[in-house]
Amino acid sequence: MRLQRIAVLVPAFTIVFGSFASGAGKNQTPQRPPTIQEAERFVEQAEARLNKLAIKSSRADWVQATYITNDTEALAASAREDVLAAVTDLANQAKRFEGMNLPPTLARKLKLLKLSVSAPAPKDPKERAELAELGTWLEGTYGKGKYCPQSGPYAGKCLGQSEMEEAMATTKDPAALLDLWEGWRKFSPPMRPKYARFVELANKGAREMGFADAGALWRSNYDMTPQEYSAELERLWQQVRPLYLSLHTYVRSQLVKKYGPQAVPPNGPIPAHLLGNIWAQDWTNIFDLLDVPGKSGGVDLTPILQEKKIDDLEMVRYGERFFTSLGFDPLPETFWTRSLFVKPRDRDVVCHASAWDIDNQEDVRLKMCIQIRDEDFRTVHHELGHNFYQLAYRHQPYLFEDSANDGFHEAVGDTIALSITPEYLQKVGLLEHVPSAEGDLGLLMHRALEKVAFLPFGLVIDQWRWRIFSGEVKPADYNGAWWELRTKYQGVAAPVARTESDFDPGAKFHVPANVPYTRYFLAEILQFQFHRGLCRSIGYTGPLDRCSIYGNKEAGARLKKMLEMGKSRPWPEALYALTGERQMDATAMLDYFAPLKKWLDEQNKGKPVGW
């Protein structure tokens, strides 16, 4: 799941900022110190320039993602080059105002200007063009990635990401799973040298902007220093790690029963191909292998959706109706005519679900190859969270048209998805009867396999990239470092030997697409904090897993207040507006899963914990 908003923008024209020309000539009078009024005018003109370029780049990227050809890749690369050129130019011009005593709003905008792109371009035009081309090529290569098994149940079929996800979700034969797992990673090795060059160029751009490297730039975007942000992630991880260990221990013991100790070491990391997901980031597809009371508690929507003949359009309508029940306006008509809901039969597209803001006003879109299944029903609600967030802050100035921090953007849709309770499903006609509380343990387990299982994976991708950006990990060690971190945090291991001729990180969309990833870890924490805060605001006192804000205008008003703030204020203020708390806190997640944690610890008595 991905929010699509290219950080900034512009066409091939140049705006001259009057007195902001750099440097005085040899015989000229030295340039006078800038004024606050000049800084205000600079920012105003910069926002106008960037807004135009954002629209141009977003349109080019949309076409490239939904119609992958050499030509669309070239057009997207050209638009990205314009974006990178503008950001580089404006960030360098903005240095003139460093050290000034500026009004807080103006100072915030100038800071955000520097942080507005995840891969800053070098000043050199050739290197800037190369960076844009590399970024487009890497993402396009992923979008075209396929594996065509020669044997097994999928022999003769070529599987893209969506088909691969479905295959790994439904296959239980370990040999077939291993073939699929290895096969999906065969298209990524050619990315390796290009990715190394991409890192080199992005680092050069970041250093020219005054950052230690591109990773330090990413970690500066959270209203704290890079060091403070790293420490905050570690604090949150330590809060939730005991819950993850309990889940990991139980799941491993169940897989040992299914596949035997020769296939799954009883006290070691879990082989990645046996967890029901291409990347082992979501374990919900092995739910049927677990001995959990209440397994039939109305968890799986897939057969219900299919029996009711719900199509892709109606899947999205369910998500829209959730938001309108809270008091939000319906999605604009252009959303329905310009989005992509079904994978076309005649061309390659990037099927990874993403929400798009094309014009920073009302042209929001969903790009998703929807399958009629439980997972996609929830994903639709998540992605529409992005779209309604985008619509809520569209009245903010350009540099504030974003979430309080990137974890907030991801968390909003997931907060809505937490309200997809049996009570909600019964209200919208997808369940005839609300199951009794006896099935709650099954519901909690199913959700833990999605949310709790994801937590360490949400840290690994950027931990790996930050080490690469800093130079701690060299190109010759890319794959080894990847699996070292996967094992350290997740307790998951490659099922077969991997070497440095492989490039397994490239088989995960967010790496070739250069999308920062700790936002998803933060979202896992924040969504439960948002959910608890909203449930408290409406006076709910029961189990958190049974709370749904569907239809509650009071909860909707509180949510809308936060969304409308955009990025105009530091994120602790936005968090306070919704929850009354100013620090990210994982205790809400622990509260939500407390009954499951108690049960897991009882089942795990006498079993080895860790790996």
Phi then psi for residue 331, to 5 deg, are: -65, 145
Q: Choosing from 410, 411, 494, 517, which is the catalytic residue?
A: 410
Has 163 been annotated as catalytic?
A: no
Which entry of 76, 353, 355, 577 is annotated as an active-site residue? 353
Give the strand order in the sheet containing 354-357. Answer: 2-4, 354-357, 364-367
**Helix extents (H) in 67-190:** 70-94, 104-114, 125-143, 161-170, 174-184
Question: Is residue 352 annotated as part of the catalytic site, yes or no?
Answer: yes
Options 139, 165, 383, 524, the catalytic residue: 383
CB-CB contact of 514 with 138 (8 Å): yes
Environment class of 543 (CB within 10 Å of its CB; exposed 0-12, middle 13-18, buried 19+) = middle
Residues forming a β-bridge with 147: 159
Active site residue 383: yes
Q: Which of 248, 386, 409, 446 is catalytic?
A: 386
Exactly one of 520, 523, 531, 577 is catalytic; which is it? Answer: 520
Q: Note the maximum CA span of the chain.
A: 85
Reply yes or no on whether 410 is catalytic: yes
DSSP secondary structure letters along 546-591: G---TT-HHHHHHHHHHHHHTTSS-HHHHHHHHHS--S--THHHHH
Q: Is 353 a catalytic residue?
A: yes
Find the catalytic residue in 273, 381, 446, 510: 510
Q: Which residue has the tokens 């600079």?
A: 42
The gap between the terminal CA atoms of the chain, to the nearest Å, is: 30
Instruction: Estimate to the nearest angstrom the gap between the alpha carbon of 587 and the chain centroid.
Output: 22
**Which letter does DSSP use for residue 83 in this model?**
H
Rounded to whole angstroms, the Cα distance separating 184 from 110 reads 42
Catalytic residue among 382, 409, 446, 531: 382
Given the residues 352, 409, 446, 531, select the one marked as catalytic: 352
∠ CA 347-350-362, nearest 5°, is: 105
Mark whether 248 is an active-site residue. no
- The values of phi and psi at residue 108, to 5°, are -65, -40
The DSSP letter of residue 400 is G
Residues sharing a CB contact under 8 Å with residue 127, sequence separation 6 or more, in sequence order: 121, 201, 204
Give the residue numbers marked as catalytic: 352-353, 382-383, 386, 410, 510, 520
